[in-house]
Every structure is written in structure tokens, then in C-alpha cells.
Chains A and B, each alone.
Chain A
Amino acid sequence: MKKSVFLGALTFAGLAAGAAAAGTLEDVQARGKLNCGVTTGLVGFAAPDANGEWNGFDVAVCRAVAAAVLGDPTAVEFIPTTGKTRFTALASGEIDMLARNTTWTFSRDVDLKFDFVGVNYYDGQGFMVPKALGVSSAKDLDGATVCIQTGTTTELNLADFFRANNINYEPVPIETNAEAQQQYLAGACDVYTTDASGLAATRATFENPDEHTLLPEIVSKEPLGPLVRHGDNEWGDVVRWTLNALITAEELGVTSANVGDMASNTTNPEVARLLGTEGNLGEMMGLEADWAKKAIMSEGNYGEIFAKNIGEETPIGLARGLNAQWTDGGLLYSPPFR
């Protein structure tokens, strides 16, 4: 790669034709690194810290996949993508998977030829307003100016919601969260709308978070999840079941702390199958037997990842809500490991 980059730049002679694309799983294993597309920066979900280390909820999924496939949660190359570039980056093979709060929609799945492997966060589009405005429902927003962070389905949901309720509004589309937030705080818009999780994350960084409130309406369903290219089902299975392993681990009480312990002396057959001490689930996927164990050890199970990055103890302070296990009244429901 390095050689071809250099010679290509110097000679414009074009690049030696690459070998015909093998399966993504083999590519990743041969490369020794997972290329994972993330957002350019949304606190809690994916953002580089002061040392340039990526952290967050989506990032943890990437690390778990890397741990499952390569045995090393740090063998990930995080590639920041914008709303505009993410699909091209995935389609052109620049990234192996996209874990960038991307909504699972029909047209993305069918028309753009991607496979959503699951849902790691059930979100919905919400509204944030200053308390001083005295608005208690989104239906009171007739004539308001609304700041939108572009690049997701946000614009479309907003247009649908206001049209359905026959309300006028003025959209102000803004590229980055930081700029949208500045507009909102300066009063250039009355309302800021994006995914409810993003609103909570943004509000957490305000000087006076208490002066702002989230309206009760959630105007859309936003199942956010990792996605891969259409047609490479082996790779899709790896990402799908890594995500399921994290969810199942929480359900079965396997945590990053006790996973080693559980692997050696569990009596629960499903835990044993999950952690590879029984059966050959890993082999079926072309991975090591302890793939799920490594994935869980990297950042913990789903609950741990949630609590560490966006949970109520963090500045973002999101409640589990829909994202609780089905046993606790949420929507997380992993198919069984057998």
C-alpha cells in the first residue's frame, strides 16, 4: 500500500490493479487491523480525547469486533466520516464497518445496498428548548426557528412532523454539532433538534444545563446500529453476533470482570457456548473459540459499555429506557447462542 501510494503520487501511472476483493473477514485478518467508520466527534458516542484516543459507545462496538476477530481491541483504525461521506466510505471498501449513529431505514438497507446487522441504540429525534421560552410541547412551536444538525434523517423527520401537525417553522441546517449549539445558545434558533441522545450529550456540555429542557415528543424511530456492505454475509455475521454477544453477556450476567472466571467454571450451558468452552460456535464463523470472551473483555458487556460512556453516572446521563434488556422491559433481545 505504502509503495503504491508513493509511486502513484509521483508518477500518476495509476496503481497496480488490486487483487480481486476477498471476503472482508479475510481482509481484516490479513491486514491485522479493523477499519471502523465513526462520527467526526459526538461526545459519548465517538470522540477523540485530548490524547487522540477514541472513546465512546459506538467506538466500543468497533473495539469488541476487533477483539473478536483479531484478539486485540486496540487493533482498530478509526476513520471519521461525515454524514455525506459515510456511505461512500463503506461502499468503496475504505472502511470495513460503520458504527456511526446511523439510522436503520428501508432505503438505506435496500436501495443503498447495506446490511444493518442489529441495533445498538434505540433512539428517537427530540427537541431541546430554553426553559425561558415557556414551551411544553413540540406542537406549540408554530413559527419557531429550528436548528438542525444535517447529515442524518433529521431533516426529513422534522419536515414530516411539522407537516403532519400543520405547523410552520424555519429550518436552519448546520454542519457540525458545535456550530449548531452556538447558534442555539445565542438565540439564533428557538429549538435545537437531533437525536435525543445527542441532545442530552450536548446539553451536558452547556454552562447552565438546567436552563434547557427536552420536550416530551419523540418524533421518530431511530434504531441506530452498525452496518456492513451488502453481500458479504460472513462478515455481516461476525459483526452481528459480536453485538449479540455483548447483549447476551449482560443478560447472562457475564461482565468484563468475571468473564475469565465464568469461562472456566460455569454451569450454564449457554454461557459455556457463548464463551467457547462448549460447542464450536467460533469455528462456524471462522474465528477463535474464545472470540466472544475477548470481545467482552475488551470493553465489557452491553450494560458496562452503556454505563461507562453514556449512562446516568456520566455527564451525558442517559437512562436505559428502551435500551434495557427485554427482561427489564426494554427492547434489547438477542437471539440465543446455540
Chain B
Amino acid sequence: MTSLTDPQRGSFRLSSLLNDTRYRSMTLQVIAAVVLALTLGYLYSNLMANLQEQGLDISFDFLYSPAGYDINQTLIDYNSQSTNLRAAVVGVLNTLLVAFLACVTATVFGVIAGVLRLSKNWLVRKLMAFYVEIFRNIPVLIWIIIIFTIMTAVMPAPSAFRGDTPSSSMLFDLFAFTNRGVYVPGPYFTRGFGGEDGSWINWLLVIGVLVASLFATRAVSARANDKQAKTGVRPKTFWLNLAIWFVPVIVLLFALGLQWDIPELRGFNFGGGIKIGGPLIALWFALSIYTGAFIAENVRAGIQAVSRGQTEAASALGLRPRRVMNLVVLPQALRVIIPPLISQYLNITKNSSLAIAVGYADITATLGGITLNQTGRAIECVLLLMLFYLVISLCISAVMNVYNNAMKLKER
């Protein structure tokens, strides 16, 4: 706020600290600084007094002592003798995993529902409105519990697959859907590099080939564009692209000797393959379908924000509907959709902390749950927990700011 009052010259009186615009902001800031320092000092002295009274201290040594508990889903090696720090890292990775998965599916749900809400079909429109309202107006915690309960109650237990006449059977003999999780075939290499432990080298190779394919197809497209610009005729690139995408990778996988580890019933559980745990699925699904409802509204608002004149103008230029969508509507709608979409991603990450309600081992359940319970180091655990979420949020905010700056309307 700029003030246009002329500064008075000359005499300085005590009251001019408050009344003179030259000094006032300085005075206020000094007051604010003093109040802030006093408040923080007061809180700190209370904390110290309380800790001293109870003979406690602040120490992060517990992070390096053995955690002592097991975790059912880990992305890195972990056992009960690993340190609390490693348990926290397992939790961090699990948080990131479920957040990433939920972001992807929530976007899919949201885009589908958002587009269908604008459908010409009355019934579909109403159905999607119902979906959006019912999910937006009921707390996500209730949804997580309901979906977890539904999963447990509706899906068959592994024992249902047992016996001579099992009441459930595997899908195509490849996938098993149970209330403990979904078991899918897991790939492994028989002729890979580095034997058992070196499988990540093989996966790196596969990813490298795919990236190379991506660049190759882009080069093909660029050539085609070039040719189109020169001659007006666009060469057919579809089959070529298809070949570039699939042939190298299939050859590579064959060379490495790809095999599938099919899940089968062993003892109490299914063994083999990859297990996607029930808590993960419940949380993933609940977060996606809940946040999808919010994203649907963002998508709808974004599409509606593009004025009809734009579509009509594009049609008048002779563009076909698909190109109208790709070249005119989407770029403008995305400008409106993406910022709220990113903050929905942020919400997903934060809401994933409710994993604690379904027993999924995210950071809140490991560091802020069992580790806190067992070590009693409440202050340290909660501080670390908040620090982690803060870092994630700041990263996502940074991405958002970069995007916003890039997409800012270039105004004169």
C-alpha cells in the first residue's frame, strides 16, 4: 500500500514513530519482531521446563537403533533388525508410491467424469453429477474405511481358492483377487546380467531402449512434419512408429530371457508373482475416486471456461473436431485446469497420511505410528513427519510455480 502523504520535515517526536509514515512501518516491524521473539522464547522455555521436569531430552539417536517390527510392504530391503530410520524410509517410499498411483488414477477418473458431466446424454450427465456430489460431500476418512471394509467383505479369502471345488478361481489362471491383495504375474529374466541381484541393470536396459524408441518416433514425426510443410502431403508414419516402439524392446526382452512368475496358492497365501496389498489397493482406490470427484469439477470448469466462440471460430477455419479439440480447446482449458489439478495432487499426498486407518505402512504409520509408540519419542517423530510433508509440498508448489510462470498470459 503506497501512501501519498508528504513526509513532514524536521522535528522528531515520540508520537511520530506511530504517526509518521517514514517511521511507522519500521516501528510496527520492530514490535512484530519483539512479539514474535517473546512468543517463541516463551514456548521454548515452557518446552524446556516441561522436559526438564520429566527428565526427558530431545534426541534423534533412536533413529539408529533397531526398529524391531516388521512391515508387510516394502520397496527396499527391510527386516525387523533394520533401524528406525530405515523403517521411516520404507514409509516415505510407500507414501510416494500410493500418492503417485492415486494421482494417476484420480486424473483418469476425474477427466472421464468431468467430460461425461458435459455429455449430451442426460442420464450419464446426472449419474456423473451424482458421483461428484456424493464423493465431494462425505469425508475421505469415511470413504477409506468404507472401501477397505467393502474390499475385505466382498473379495474372497485365499482359503476360498483351496480344496477340490474351490468357490473362487484365478482370472485366466494368472491373476488372483483376494481380500489380502491382488496377485499378478511378476516378470524375471533368466539370461539377464548380474544374476539374481542385478535385475535392476536389466530394467535399466529396458527403460533405455524405450527412451531411445521415444526419441526415434519423435524424429520420424518431425521428418513427416517437414515433408508435409514442403509438399503438402503427410507420409504415413503409423506402422513405422509402431515398429519402432515394439520391435527393439521385444527383441531385448527375448534376449534377456523374460519369464513370468505366476502366482499360485502355497500354504496360507498365494506365493510368487507380485502382490499388491489390500491396504494399498483400498487406500489407492479411495483416494483416487475421492479426488477424482474434485478433479472432475476442475476439468468441467476448465472446458466451460473456453468460450464457445473459440470452438466456432476454429470450425469456421475448417479444422476437424479432433483438431479443434487438440489445437484450440485443450491448450486453453489446460491453462485453467492444471493449477487446481496440481493442488489436488498435493491434497492426495497429504490425504495419504490417512493410511493409518487401513494399516498401510506409509510414513505416518511407521515413523508417526509404530516407531512413535515404541520409542515414545513423540516430539522428534512428529517434527520429522511434518518436515517430510513440508518438503514434498514445497516441491509440488515449486513445480506449480514454474508451470504458472510458463503459462502466464503474455500481456502487454
Q: Which residues of A contact B (CB under 8 A)?
A: 14, 21, 83-84, 87-88, 91-92, 108, 111-113, 132-133, 141-145, 150-153, 155-156, 158-160, 162-163, 169-175, 182-183, 186-190, 229-231
| Contact across chains for A173 and B373 when beta carbons are under 8 A apart | no
| Contact across chains for A229 and B72 when beta carbons are under 8 A apart | no
Interface membership of B152, Cβ < 8 A: yes
Q: Which residues of the partner chain A approach B53 to less than 8 Å between Cβ atoms?
A: 21
Shortest Cβ gap from B49 to chain A (Å):
10
Known: A143-B271, A158-B69. 8 other contacts (CB 8 A): A113-B56, A155-B69, A155-B370, A173-B369, A188-B152, A188-B157, A188-B278, A190-B268
Tell me the bound Cα distance from A231 to B279 in angstroms.
43
| Contact across chains for A144 and B268 when beta carbons are under 8 A apart | yes
11 contacts between A and B (CB under 8 A): A159-B69, A160-B80, A163-B79, A170-B72, A171-B69, A175-B357, A175-B359, A182-B152, A187-B160, A188-B152, A188-B180
Contact of B269 among A113, A145, A173, A186 (CB under 8 A): A145
Tell me the bound Cα distance from A140 to B152 in angstroms.
25
Contact of A171 among B71, B156, B158 (CB under 8 A): B71
Most buried by B among A182, A186, A190: A186
| Contact across chains for A169 and B180 when beta carbons are under 8 A apart | no
Interface membership of B55, Cβ < 8 A: yes
| Contact across chains for A174 and B359 when beta carbons are under 8 A apart | yes
| Contact across chains for B56 and A175 when beta carbons are under 8 A apart | no
Interface membership of B378, Cβ < 8 A: yes
Q: How many residues of B contact A (CB 8 A)?
A: 43
| Contact across chains for A108 and B373 when beta carbons are under 8 A apart | no
| Contact across chains for B373 and A145 when beta carbons are under 8 A apart | no
Tell me the bound Cα distance from A78 to B370 in angstroms.
25
Tell me the bound Cα distance from A173 to B356 in angstroms.
9
Shortest Cβ gap from B322 to chain A (Å):
46
Closest to B267 in A: A143
Shortest Cβ gap from A68 to chain B (Å):
25
| Contact across chains for A113 and B55 when beta carbons are under 8 A apart | yes
Shortest Cβ gap from B239 to chain A (Å):
47
Interface membership of B307, Cβ < 8 A: no
Q: Which residues of the partner chain A approach B374 to less than 8 Å between Cβ atoms?
A: 153, 155-156
| Contact across chains for B71 and A142 when beta carbons are under 8 A apart | no
Contact of A159 among B42, B70, B357, B365 (CB under 8 A): B70
Shortest Cβ gap from A188 to chain B (Å):
4
| Contact across chains for B153 and A186 when beta carbons are under 8 A apart | yes
| Contact across chains for B271 and A84 when beta carbons are under 8 A apart | no
Shortest Cβ gap from B157 to chain A (Å):
3
Q: Which residues of the partner chain A approach B159 to less than 8 Å between Cβ atoms?
A: 132-133, 187
Interface membership of B50, Cβ < 8 A: yes
| Contact across chains for B376 and A112 when beta carbons are under 8 A apart | yes
Q: Contacts A84-B369, A111-B376, A112-B376: A186 and B152 contacting too (C-beta < 8 A)?
A: yes
Q: Which residues of the partner chain A approach B369 to less than 8 Å between Cβ atoms?
A: 84, 150, 173
Shortest Cβ gap from B145 to chain A (Å):
8
Contact of A92 among B50, B271, B361, B370 (CB under 8 A): B50
Tell me the bound Cα distance from A83 to B365 in angstroms.
13
- Listed from nearest, the 6 A-B pairs whose CB atoms lie closest are A187-B157, A159-B80, A155-B69, A143-B267, A144-B268, A156-B68
Tell me the bound Cα distance from A294 to B378 in angstroms.
38
Closest to A83 in B: B373
| Contact across chains for A150 and B376 when beta carbons are under 8 A apart | no
